[in-house]
Amino acid sequence: MANTGIESHWLIGARRSRSPNQDARPIPASEIDVLVIHGISLPPGSFGGAYIEQFFCNQLDRTAHHYFQEIFLLRVSAHLLINRLGETVQFVSFDRRAWHAGESRYQGRNSCNDFSLGIELEGTDETPYTDAQYLKLAEITQSLFRTYPRLCPERIVGHSDIAPARKTDPGSSFDWTKYRSLLRNFS
C-alpha cells in the first residue's frame, strides 16, 4: 500500500469536494487528539452513487428518495469519506472543524467536533465493511498520527462512543480488532 501523506491539512491523493458545513476550530489544529470513526449509507442500506457527497455539500435532492425528506435540511460534514472501494473524498481540511459529531462527549469534554477528526466509512451497522476500506483507513490513520502527534491508537473511537444515546455507528459490523491489527502493520 502506498504511503499516504498530508500536505497543508489535506490528504494527498484524496479527491476534494469542499463542504460548506465547517468552520474554524476554537483550538489550534495541533490540539487535535481524537479520531472518530463513522458509518453512513444513503439512502440507508444502499451503496455507491453520489448521495453522501451531495448530502455533505448541501446538494441533496429531497425528491430523489423518500428518506431524503427527513435529512436534506441537515448541515453536516466529515473530514473524509472512504467508500466501499477504498476511494477517499475529503470535504474539510483537517485544521478546520467538520460538523460530524453533533452533541457529543469524550473523557469529560463536550463538543467533540472542536478537537477531533471525523472519517466516514460507507456502510451500515450490520453490513461488513470491505477490506479496501480497512486498508485505506489504517493507512490514513498512520498519516494522521504522523501529522497530529496527539492522536494515538487509544484515542480512536466510534461515533457511538461519543454520542451513545443518539448514534450506533460504525456499528457491530466494524471489526475493531482487524483495524487495530492493520494499524500495527502500517506503523
| Active site residues per annotation | 120
Q: What is the amino acid identity at position 11?
A: L
Cα distances from 136 to residues 1, 41, 93, 102, in angstroms, run: 8, 18, 18, 25
Cα distances from 45 to residues 41, 42, 82, 177, in angstroms, run: 6, 7, 16, 24
Tell me how far apart the 2 most distant CA atoms of the chain are, in Å: 46
What's the CA gap between 46 and 123, in Å, rounded?
Answer: 8
Closest C-alpha to 138, from 92, 95, 177: 177
Q: Torsion angle, CA of 45/101/51/141, rounded to 10 degrees?
A: -90
Q: Are 145 and 61 in contact (CB under 8 A)?
A: no
What's the CA gap between 139 and 61, in Å, rounded?
Answer: 33
